[in-house]
Structure 1
Amino acid sequence: MSRRLKVLISGTGFAGQGHADAFRGAGAEIVGIVGRTPRVVQQVAEAMNIPHAGTDWDAALAECRPDIVSIATPGGAHYEPIKSAIAAGCHVFCDKPMTESAETAIELRDLAEARGVKTAYAASFRYTPSVLHARQLISDGAIGQPTEIECISHFNLEREIPFGWSHRKEQGGGRLNNNFTHTLSIACALVGERILRIAGEVRDDLGRAPIVEGVHNFATRRNFIPKDLDDPALEWGESNVEWSYTVMAQLESPMADKPVSVLFKHGGLVPRFHEDHIVVYGTEGALYIKGHYGSGLLSHYGADKEWTPRALPKAIAKSVPDVKGETELCWHTLASEFVRDIEGETVEPYPTFAEGAQYQQIIELIRRNQNWTDVTGLA
């Protein structure tokens, strides 16, 4: 293209600033940023040298006339800005979860398709270097036909983290929206994108959280944990969303004769004993990746019956963006693919609103907890 693509950002916190950096890294121009609080959005705009700062999204769309909008707010605040952006003919880059419900996610997917705009859905940890390496090894037949995947994580989050959007279903909170979206995307990237079956259960083992003023940046919310949780003046908000889940899935894989079984086990509030990990098993071996999103060391179990660490191939290492943080690295990768696609280059398929809407439907199915069989009457 003859000019740089213009990007308008929704959200001023960790994600908003991260998206802005990612699109700048992809060669786009950040023309504006919108947030809820005038003082905060002005400070962020000045610090990041962004020309337009405001609190009115529709006014920013009209003034900035962006080619792309980047949605970096909690999921419950996605629907209206995305709908307005699609109506304005903008391409949309949206962080997970896509929206707070399957109904609104489906509507936005259909509106984007009808308007002919491109979309990107940032369930983006599929772009960690070790996941890319594992995908290449599986494709090359290093483990034979893939048969099974397990994704295990325990976050040990503080129960006293101040009450906010992460505690409420209608605001896009919950561990399915903010953890499972990534691991499901990783599993699909590794063995195949077609999800055949799903079953699962969830548990809210938190109950409530203290209400504290002044929390703006999600990444620094721990700094606001009250020192005296027994203070009678302290107010509490109620959680209505899951903090732990167990999900089973079957994925169709072009590399396997049978569906690949997948286990997703996540405890948001419980401590880990061994490392969080992702393991892919096959008919002739296995791959182990350390870390809840597969960002750690990759080891291969092959014909020698030994687990052997495998170095990252030079081609993958060369392609990794030179940024700090695995979250930022993955945003940079997806933003680059999105920009290149909009500019007419040929790119590998990436997650779009099709996946975003599908994932929201799956999350609602899991939350219904209708997978149990009552066996109390059996002899």
Structure 2
Amino acid sequence: MTRELKVLIAGTGFAGEGHAAAFRAAGATVVGIVGRTPHVVEEVAARLGIPHAGTDWEKALEVCRPDIVSIATPGGAHDAQIRAAIAAGAHVFCDKPMTTTGPIAVELERLARERGIKTAYAASFRYTPSILHAQRLIAEGAIGAPTEVECISHFNLERNIPFGWSHRAADGGGRLNNNFTHTLSIVTAVLGDRILSVAGDVRDDLGRAPIVEGVHNFATRRNFIPKDLDDPNLAWGESDVEWSYTVLARIQSPLAERPVSAMFRHGGLVPRFQDDHIVFYGDTGAIYLKGHYGSGALHLHDGTGWREVPLPDDIAAAIPDVAGETEQCWHILAREFLRDIRGEEVPPYPTFRDGAVHQQIIDVIRRNEAWVDVSALG
């Protein structure tokens, strides 16, 4: 396929603008954008030079006739948007979480596969340069056979961020949907995607958040925290999602004879004391990556001690020339997705299959059924 590919964007916030820039950089044409609020979508479309702006998704599909739709809305809106896109015959690029429940995600993956629709699932921090570097080193045997992985992060989020989709399970909120999806994608990109078993614990440490009007962009929601939280006229919304989780997993890897143990620990509302990190351990060494998505410096332990290993020149040269790790990762995934649609050979990238697996695992973890009652033991 050599003709120009047309993209329609759903969502006018940080992700919507980021997806538009990524597809343009990859050589596609953004022909339309859809949002909830007329004046917001019109302003974004004018500022980005996008021809069609509207609030009706199905009408936009009919008017724009896109080859690709890019879903950059909260997870609760994805189901209807994806179904309409599949019915229109468009390929689908969707941000995480894929949906709000495992059964919905499984059905959407099946519908896309049966229609021959290509899909991309943007749990995309697997594309940071340091993760790509770790993936290469581990594949080359730098740590021997992998044995375990440790993913630790503490975000210290403001407790009074205005109530919105991130507080509601029905809208795709929760830290599993919006943090674990990335770290799980990172680990499976490095080790292999055959997840054998999981157990987990979740906790809502928040309870409630103030209801504030005018928040349209996830990236700027902190600016809307009320000045007076004791105002008797202030309304509050109740959270029904997890703000902390601990997950254990066993992953079958082609790099190891025995399953690899993985631990994912995240506290959304608590402060960190030492660096967030991801560590891959093997039977002859280890790789430490600084940062909650492992995007900082890479240190290798070769059995004698730790040393920092610089990023290889070819990986450094391939980093998209845009600000922000999130944006860089979207650019890489959009590029690979377009190459695949054009019929070029590309490495595996995350698809709706991965998204459906992730959503089913999140359902399992949220049921909190891993506990064994030992209270009666003497």
Question: TM-score band, normalised by the shorter chain?
Answer: over 0.9
Instruction: Encode CA deviations 1:14-67: one digit per residue, 9 max, x unaligned.
Output: 000000000001100000000001100000000000000010111100110000
1:168 corresponding residue in structure 2: 168
AA matched with 2:299: S
Q: Is 1:364 paired with 2:375? A: no
2: CA distance, partners of 1:277 / 1:228: 36
How far 1:192 moved relative to its partner? 1.0
AA matched with 2:59: A
Aligned runs of 1:25-40 on 2, under 5 Å? Answer: 25-40=25-40
Q: Is 1:208 paired with 2:222? A: no
2: CA distance, partners of 1:335 / 1:378: 55
2:56 corresponding residue in structure 1: 56
Secondary structure of 1:351's aligned partner? coil
2: CA distance, partners of 1:281 / 1:190: 12
How far 1:103 moved relative to its partner? 1.6
Contact 2:15-2:72 at 8 Å conserved across structures: yes
1:249 corresponding residue in structure 2: 249
How far 1:2 moved relative to its partner? 3.0
2: CA distance, partners of 1:192 / 1:355: 12
1: CA distance, partners of 2:96 / 2:54: 23
2:294 corresponding residue in structure 1: 294
**Segments of 4+ in structure 1 off by > 2 A?**
none
AA matched with 2:154: H
Secondary structure of 2:353's aligned partner? helix
AA matched with 1:30: V
Moved more, 96-105 or 70-79: 96-105
Instruction: Encode CA deviations 1:142-197: one digit per residue, 9 max, x unaligned.
Output: 00000000000000000000000000000000000000000000000111111111
1:311 corresponding residue in structure 2: 310
Contact 2:202-2:246 at 8 Å conserved across structures: yes
1:332 corresponding residue in structure 2: 331
AA matched with 2:165: W
How far 1:319 moved relative to its partner? 1.2
Query: Identity over aligned residues, as a percent?
Result: 70
1: CA distance, partners of 2:313 / 2:209: 46
1:99 corresponding residue in structure 2: 99
1:259 corresponding residue in structure 2: 259
Contact 2:89-2:117 at 8 Å conserved across structures: yes
2: CA distance, partners of 1:102 / 1:269: 26
1: CA distance, partners of 2:192 / 2:337: 21
Q: TM-score, normalised by structure 1?
A: 0.99
Contact 2:2-2:342 at 8 Å conserved across structures: no
2: CA distance, partners of 1:84 / 1:204: 34
2: CA distance, partners of 1:365 / 1:255: 27
1: CA distance, partners of 2:2 / 2:270: 52
2: CA distance, partners of 1:310 / 1:324: 23
Instruction: Encode CA deviations 1:56-102: one digit per residue, 9 max, x unaligned.
Output: 11110011000000000000010111100001110000000001111
Secondary structure of 1:78's aligned partner? helix
2:346 corresponding residue in structure 1: 347
How far 1:276 moved relative to its partner? 0.3
How far 1:339 moved relative to its partner? 0.2
Contact 2:130-2:297 at 8 Å conserved across structures: yes
2: CA distance, partners of 1:302 / 1:107: 45
Instruction: Encode CA deviations 1:108-130: one digit per residue, 9 max, x unaligned.
Output: 11100111010000000000000
1: CA distance, partners of 2:132 / 2:59: 40
Secondary structure of 2:257's aligned partner? coil
1:73 corresponding residue in structure 2: 73
1:42 corresponding residue in structure 2: 42
Secondary structure of 2:311's aligned partner? coil
Instruction: Encode CA deviations 1:313-338: one digit per residue, 9 max, x unaligned.
Output: 01111111111001001000000000
Contact 2:45-2:53 at 8 Å conserved across structures: yes
How far 1:107 moved relative to its partner? 1.1
Which runs of no fewer than 5 residues in structure 1 stay unpaired?
none
2: CA distance, partners of 1:254 / 1:361: 23
Instruction: Encode CA deviations 1:234-275: one digit per residue, 9 max, x unaligned.
Output: 000000000000000011110101100000000000000000
2: CA distance, partners of 1:118 / 1:78: 16
Instruction: Encode CA deviations 1:213-240: one digit per residue, 9 max, x unaligned.
Output: 0101000000000000000000000000
Secondary structure of 2:141's aligned partner? coil
1: CA distance, partners of 2:289 / 2:282: 15
Secondary structure of 2:134's aligned partner? helix
1: CA distance, partners of 2:373 / 2:204: 21
The RMSD of aligned alpha carbons is 0.6
| Matched pairs, number | 378
AA matched with 2:220: T
AA matched with 1:358: V
2: CA distance, partners of 1:122 / 1:373: 35
1: CA distance, partners of 2:282 / 2:113: 37
1:285 corresponding residue in structure 2: 285
Secondary structure of 1:21's aligned partner? helix
2: CA distance, partners of 1:343 / 1:154: 41
2:377 corresponding residue in structure 1: 378
2: CA distance, partners of 1:87 / 1:16: 22
